[in-house]
Amino acid sequence: MAYDNNNIFAKILRGEIPSVKVFEDSKTLAFMDVMPEADGHVLVIPKEPAQDMLDLSPEGLTAMMATVQRVAKAADKALAPDGILIKQYNRAAAGQSVFHIHFHIVPRWEGLAVAPHGKAMVDAARLEPIAAKIRSAL
């Protein structure tokens, strides 16, 4: 399957769809997931068009991992979870639903179940205060 320039993350990168940004540099963007599995659920994407990890350049993957670590550390500092789940899906059979490579950073607290992946959308007004906490810890 060829990369689709009209996927939702490509539209976010072009500014056609709003997002609650947490961090951005020349190669990556981190923003709040609008269907969070837990408070503080952040997505990290490369600006390079790539369907999945198998399509991404080594330089793009290096930049992504640096941003994943930076944002995960900030979420850990800002939100004080008991753990941080980092996950990434490649292709539909593995659970990928948006075909632009992305990593999920999901803070986890003991005794709190995660919400189902991609099921319930929340308003940006609920995400912004959490994003502000994470941004302040960057």
Residue 3 lies in a domain: no
pLDDT in tens, 104-130: 999 999 999 999 887 889 999 999 999
Domain count, the chain: 1
Structure tokens at 8: 């939702």
Strand order in the sheet with 83-87: 21-24, 28-32, 42-46, 103-108, 83-87
Tell me which residue range forms the domain holding 20: 8-136
pLDDT of residue 119: 82
Distance CA 70, CA 74 (A): 6
- Among candidate residues 41, 100, 102, 104, the one labeled active-site is 102
Q: Looking at the domain assignment, is residue 76 inside a domain? A: yes
Residue 53's contacts (CB-CB under 8 Å, 6 or more residues apart) are 61, 88, 90, 101
pLDDT by residue (tens digit) across 70-116?
A: 999 999 999 999 999 999 999 999 999 999 999 999 999 999 999 98
Residue 101 counted as domain residue: yes
On whether residue 109 sits in a domain, the answer given is yes
Q: What is the dihedral of CA 32, 78, 112, 23, to 10 degrees?
A: 20
Tokens 């996950």: give the residue. 87
**Does residue 1 form part of some domain?**
no
- Spatial CA neighbour of 65 closest among 10, 23, 103, 9: 103
Closest CA to 40 of 107, 99, 94: 107
Paired tokens of 100: 């632009």
Does residue 16 belong to any structural domain of this protein? yes
Q: Which residues pair with 87 in a beta bridge?
A: 104
Tell me whether residue 2 is in a domain: no
78 in any annotated domain:
yes
The pLDDT of residue 126 is: 96
102 is catalytic: yes
CATH of the domain at 42: 3.30.428.10
Q: What is the pLDDT of residues 15-57, one digit of tens each?
A: 999 999 999 999 999 999 999 999 999 999 999 999 999 999 9
Please tell me the predicted confidence (pLDDT) of residue 118. Answer: 79
Phi and psi of 136, rounded to 5°?
-65, -20
